[in-house]
A and B are shown apart, each in its own frame.
Chain A
Amino acid sequence: MAAKDVKLLGASASAYVNRVQFALNLKSIKYEFLQEDVFNKSELLLKSNPVHKKIPVLIHAHKPICESLVIVQYVDEFWSDAPTILPSHPYERANARFWAAYLDDKWFPLFRELRNAKDEESKAGVLGKIFEGLTLLEGVFVKSSNGKGYFGGETIGYLDIVLGSFLGWVKAAEIMAQLKILDETKTPALVDWAERFVSHEAITGIIPEPEELIAVLKDFQAKAAAAAASK
């Protein structure tokens, strides 16, 4: 399929956009990356995602697909050749979807709470929840990897993509909070997995360096503050 047929509207600092890039790379799909500025959204973005006006949007043969997890499943189902991303058994699929939803709805939002924590006590409280989540994920990894290298087993799967997409921001949070979050004394299997994941040929080079993410965050915060002030 020619690159022109597949367009990805996104921004490289977005974990949600990175997920789609991982999925397309895993399937060896060539695509055109259209960089969006979330403070100055393109006509194409507004037209393709009128409901949420958010990135990522995948435009495949002129048809838009929105919401990162929806897009990843679409990529897996449309380009159904190996490697498959979702597990093949319905129970394992349900499990993968459950943990992906947990990561998106419960776990990753804790990082924003961490940044906004007003004192040491609340910071410790949020960190506690982050570590609890990672302990759960360590258990999920051990079970679903079945002795192999990824949540998906021998190959990168859905949960690898979802948790993996947050690794850059986890590192950025470690720098900003000055402590280890992915800690080999607490979650050794996940630490190993993280290194393995980011070095995979379909993944490497997509997640920006943590310093770049921190710069993007500061820029975003400044622009958001200015926009709020001018209302």
Chain B
Amino acid sequence: MAADKMILLDCYVSMFGMRVRIALAEKGIRYHYKEENLANKSQLLLQMNPVHKKVPVLIHNGKPISESLIIVQYIDELWHDKNPLMPSDPYQRAQARFWGDYIDKKIYDPGRRIWTTKGQEQEKAKKEFIEILKILEGELGDKPYYGGEEFGYVDVALVPFYSWFYAFEICGNFKIETDCPKLIAWAKRCMERETVAKSIGDPHRIYDFVVLMKKRLGIE
């Protein structure tokens, strides 16, 4: 594709943005990265995603695509020959979409409650969070990746949350590996992949962000 202009509106700490970064890296696509300040959204962001006003937004030759897993599918479909992320069999594709949807619906909220609450509420959030991770661990089974032998769509959807585990563990005073060793092993395996390692956030920087947000939100 000749001289594609690709811009990614994103936030360093966003797990959703990380998904898109991984997908772009997998396909070897060059792009201009623009860090958004969500407390002061750019005109470009508001113009390109007027409905949700959220990141990530991929702008391809001036046309915006929003919603991280929709963007990942878009990239995968256009650059279908290189490192395909979705399986080719319709049933496998349905399973991949199902688990992408599950990850989208379930993880973010209890994860957020782990660092924004205390006491009983926080314990409840931790319990919910681990339950969800256990279900995901069960789905992985003995496969190296969710995609089977190959790194794929569900791996892309889930691995960014790993960058937030350190922050959750410090805030929640627990170790995720205790309950979900296979999931942590899977995450470390994904991190060996250059596209993942260079795309997802540094856990310490993310923890610093969480500390800052807690101060701003008045949470101690």
Contacts and interface: CB of A to CB of B under 8 A. Distances in A.
A and B associate: yes
Interface of A: 51, 60, 63, 65-67, 69-71, 73-74, 77-78, 90-91, 93-94, 97-98, 101-102, 106, 136
B74 A91 contact: yes
A119 B130 CA distance: 40
B93 A77 contact: yes
Q: Which 6 A-B pairs have the closest CB atoms?
A: A77-B90, A90-B77, A74-B94, A94-B74, A78-B90, A70-B97
B78 to A, nearest CB: 5
Contacts of A94: 65, 70-71, 73-74
B69 to A, nearest CB: 9
A136 to B, nearest CB: 7
Contacts of B98: 65-67, 70
Contacts of A71: 94
Given A70-B98, A93-B77, A94-B73, 17 more contacts: A51-B102, A65-B91, A66-B98, A69-B97, A70-B97, A73-B97, A77-B90, A77-B93, A90-B77, A91-B60, A91-B74, A94-B65, A97-B67, A97-B73, A98-B65, A98-B67, A136-B51
B63 interface: yes
A45 to B, nearest CB: 16
A51 B135 contact: yes
Given A94-B71, A97-B73, A74 B101 contact: no
Contact of A101 (B70, B74, B93): B70
Interface of B: 51, 60, 63, 65-67, 70-71, 73-74, 77-78, 90-91, 93-95, 97-98, 101-102, 135
Decide if the interface of chain B is mainly helix, strand, loop or mixed: helix
14 contacts: A67-B98, A70-B94, A74-B90, A74-B93, A91-B60, A91-B63, A93-B74, A94-B65, A94-B70, A97-B70, A98-B66, A101-B70, A102-B51, A136-B51
A94 B94 CA distance: 17
A74 B91 contact: yes
Contacts of A77: 90, 93
Contacts of A51: 102, 135
Given A74-B91, A78-B90, A67 B70 contact: no
A92 to B, nearest CB: 10
A228 B2 CA distance: 60
Contacts of B90: 74, 77-78
Contacts of A136: 51
A77 B93 CA distance: 9
Contacts of A93: 73-74, 77
Contacts of A91: 60, 63, 65, 74
Contacts of B102: 51
Most buried by B among A73, A91, A93: A91
A70 B66 CA distance: 19
B9 to A, nearest CB: 15
Given A74-B94, A91-B74, A67 B67 contact: no
A90 B93 contact: no
Contact of B78 (A60, A70, A90, A106): A90
Contacts of B66: 98
A124 to B, nearest CB: 22
B73 A63 contact: no
Contacts of A65: 91, 94-95, 98
B74 A90 contact: yes
A73 B70 contact: no
A28 to B, nearest CB: 18
Nearest to B94: A74
A67 B97 contact: yes
Nearest to A74: B94
Contacts of B70: 94, 97-98, 101
A47 to B, nearest CB: 15
A65 B74 CA distance: 22
A65 B73 CA distance: 19
Contacts of A60: 91
A98 B70 CA distance: 7
A97 B70 CA distance: 7
